[in-house]
Chains A and B, each alone.
Chain A
Amino acid sequence: MLRGHKIMKIAVGTRLQEFTQPESMGVVTDTLFVNCYWPKLDRPTRIFARGSSGIKVMGTTPRNVWFPDDIEFLDYYPDALYPAELAVRVAFPGNRSGLVNLSSSESQVWWDAYNEAVKGLHSKATIITTRRDCNFLRHREEVSCRMVTLANDSVDGDTILRKGTQVTKTEYDEYIAELTPHECVCLVGGKLDETDLRANKAFLHVSTQLPLI
């Protein structure tokens, strides 16, 4: 089912967390992203620069990533993931603890092993659809604030913090309000005001699902 796709580049397990700003990925063309670590975004964000095209995504859910119009979300066979992972470990032995930032050659081994495993699956093997519409607004709620006093000289950015300096440490809980596809399109297109939207949405705690009081 995945054959026939024109794939020029494959990125497997690639860390993309640093690309949090609009168009920070630059122009990307003809690339398949498989189980990549997408940036943590507080709102739907167009991280691919205009002119990007031919992007396909498979596996791990890209949350709040706004893709070019020709984006394709590929179905995949979950039972082919483990053989693909094992193939990389066998081909590139060592003390690797996990599969992150695979090189292009490692990614190709992963992809070839995945396709080979798919051939061996029976007709009833489960197919999973990569989720395309996971968009939301994130809200941070302060839960505690404390002061710490430096016992030693330290560095805070470009500032030297001398012993005795007080530093404020604030803890936050994160809350999520899901957006409908229509809200998302309007928000990214500038037809909806984010402040108004935030005021009218119900937020749930990111992990416990408790509503924001």
Chain B
Amino acid sequence: MATLYVSTGGANTNSGCTDVAAGHASIISGSAATNVGTVVTLDGSPDLSGLITSGATQSSINLSGATNANKKIFWISAFDDTANTVTVDTAPTGTLGAWKIGGQWTVPASTGMSTIDAATTFRAGDTIIFNDSPVSASQDFFTARADGTGTAGPITIKGKTGVRPVITVTSVDQCFEPGNFDLWRFENLEFAQTGASGTVIMGGDTATAHTYYNIKISDGGGAGINIQTSHSRVLMSEISGVGGDGILLNNNASFGLFYGNYIHDVGGDGIDGSANGMHSTLINNIIDSATGRGIYLGGSYTSATNFITINGNTVYGCGDSGLEIADTDAMMTLTNNIFSQNGNAAGRYNVEWTAGTAQIISLHGWNVFYHSGGGGGANLLNLTVNAQVASSEFTTDPEFTNAAGGDFSISSTSPAKAAGFPGTFLGGSTGYLDIGAVQRQESSGGGGIAGYGYTA
């Protein structure tokens, strides 16, 4: 596995193999042979003792200036720490004396990584770390050319610890175009796309199992993330400022996990499952002030196995429904959620369900549904409070601390306090979990601290 550091303070003549801008050891000898197994000598007496020469964690070096087609990272198959030599898997054919190891790499202006050879040489387990924000690109910034794997791990693109570099695209193109490649992971980065339309992060037709962890999407013409296949995850991220949906579950999107996200001020729905979204799980998300719905599930759910879990979310202030279920076959568990003040126009509802199905094929309980009646909207359509679990649901104000300022903690007198499931488990009246995405963090008397059933 390789780690490549990218920095505006680096240079394209560096390899990017260490997080130090100044060049380290240079390759000073080595034949221009074209045979696999070329031995190259390193100057500066580098410590090679930690190198791994086989398997999923195999070490690598980047030979700047080498011209092997689409391959500037070379995997190390053997080394001699005394002679300061390493044996690489494929012989470099670049100019002798120009190859270097060490230092940071930079992304050339106005291209992004889709046109750089390195983008085609990443392999499963590789990590690319941005030390700071690269220059903006006028086309797709990242284009996947290889899969991550379950054995070696994903291909990871991340920001350096302590900073949050911004990846900016100045057109209708994407910050990430996965093509048909699986298992990429993005972490600790911000994404902005300034187009009139176009998705910020696109899903490939068959690309599965992508992870977006602790990222921020702050600008975009279309959807924030367009997920088109299965097993992708959006975790503890913030999505706002996009013209379309926050997360769009499109085509064959299924088995997704959306956990702990703050999705707000988007031009479409917060999470749009109008095309699909089967078997997905939505936990502890805050969806706030979406122009459209908070959560919309309208895909063609034709099987009784298309179960969806919606637990512990707070959905507030969306222009259309906080939750809208448009398909009669949609089966779900709807627990521990707060839906408040969504649906602010005639014919819109805080929660809207397909006639009769909420109480027939889905489970709902331990929720707060509140609508003050203002703005022309109403609270519930086709859902009867407490129809399945007596006295577990409320239609009174959850009493957020400062919803307009993004603070969705609840007051000490909120009906959501200590009213979630499980309480004393299976029918007990004393709860430890607060309903909604944000817990009060009280040490006793309700208000869970850090997980189900935990009290200090």
Which A residues contact B (CB, under 8 angstroms)? Answer: 15, 17, 35, 37, 40, 59-61, 63, 78-79, 81-82, 94-101, 122, 124-126, 128, 131, 134-136, 146, 148-152, 154-159, 167, 169, 171, 174, 176, 178, 204-209
Contacts and interface: CB of A to CB of B under 8 A. Distances in A.
How would you classify the secondary structure of chain A's contact residues: helix, strand, loop or mixed? loop
A97 B406 contact: yes
A122 B354 CA distance: 57
B347 A167 contact: yes
A113 B352 CA distance: 44
A159 B222 CA distance: 35
Nearest to B441: A95
Interface residues on B, range: 35 or more
Interface string B127-160: 0000011111000000000000000000000000
Given A95-B401, A97-B262, A178 B438 contact: no
Nearest to A177: B196
Contact of B381 (A99, A152, A176): A152
A59 B197 CA distance: 17
Contact of A126 (B135, B197, B198): B135
Contacts of A126: 8, 132-136
How would you classify the secondary structure of chain B's contact residues: helix, strand, loop or mixed? loop
B1 to A, nearest CB: 27
A79 B163 contact: yes
A102 to B, nearest CB: 8
Contacts of B420: none
Contact of A176 (B197, B349, B377, B408): B197
A97 B408 contact: yes
Given A78-B166, A95-B438, A101-B404, A207 B199 contact: yes
Contact of A98 (B172, B199, B264, B378): B264
A26 B288 CA distance: 26
A125 B165 CA distance: 11
Given A98-B406, A101-B406, A128-B166, A151 B135 contact: no
Contacts of A97: 262, 286, 288, 406-408, 438
Contact of B218 (A60, A79, A151): A60
B164 interface: yes
B376 A157 contact: yes
A97 B236 CA distance: 10
B9 A124 contact: yes
24 contacts: A59-B219, A61-B219, A81-B190, A95-B407, A98-B240, A98-B406, A100-B240, A100-B265, A101-B404, A125-B133, A126-B133, A128-B133, A128-B166, A148-B354, A156-B347, A178-B197, A205-B197, A206-B197, A206-B243, A206-B268, A207-B226, A207-B268, A208-B226, A209-B199
A169 B80 CA distance: 71
Interface string B255-266: 000000010110
Given A98-B240, A154-B381, A209-B197, A60 B219 contact: yes
A167 B343 CA distance: 15
A171 B165 contact: no
Contact of A131 (B194, B198, B274, B347): B194
Contacts of B229: none
A207 B197 contact: yes
A134 B166 CA distance: 20
B13 interface: no
B407 A94 contact: yes
B313 interface: no
Contacts of B8: 122, 124-126
Contacts of A159: 346
B409 interface: yes
A37 B263 CA distance: 13
Contact of A15 (B170, B238, B289): B289
Contacts of A208: 199, 222, 226, 250
A122 B243 CA distance: 33
B168 interface: yes
- Would you list the 9 A-B pairs with minimal beta carbon distance, nearest first? A207-B222, A157-B346, A78-B166, A207-B223, A176-B197, A95-B409, A78-B133, A82-B164, A157-B376
A140 to B, nearest CB: 12
A37 B240 contact: yes
B221 A206 contact: yes
A207 B198 contact: yes
B65 interface: no
B273 to A, nearest CB: 12
A134 B195 contact: yes
Given A154-B381, A207-B197, A169 B326 contact: yes
Given A63-B221, A156-B378, A82 B163 contact: yes
B61 interface: no
Nearest to A178: B196
Nearest to B168: A128
Contacts of A61: 194, 219, 221
B268 to A, nearest CB: 8
Interface in B349-392: 349, 352, 354-356, 373, 376-378, 380-382, 384
A96 B355 CA distance: 37
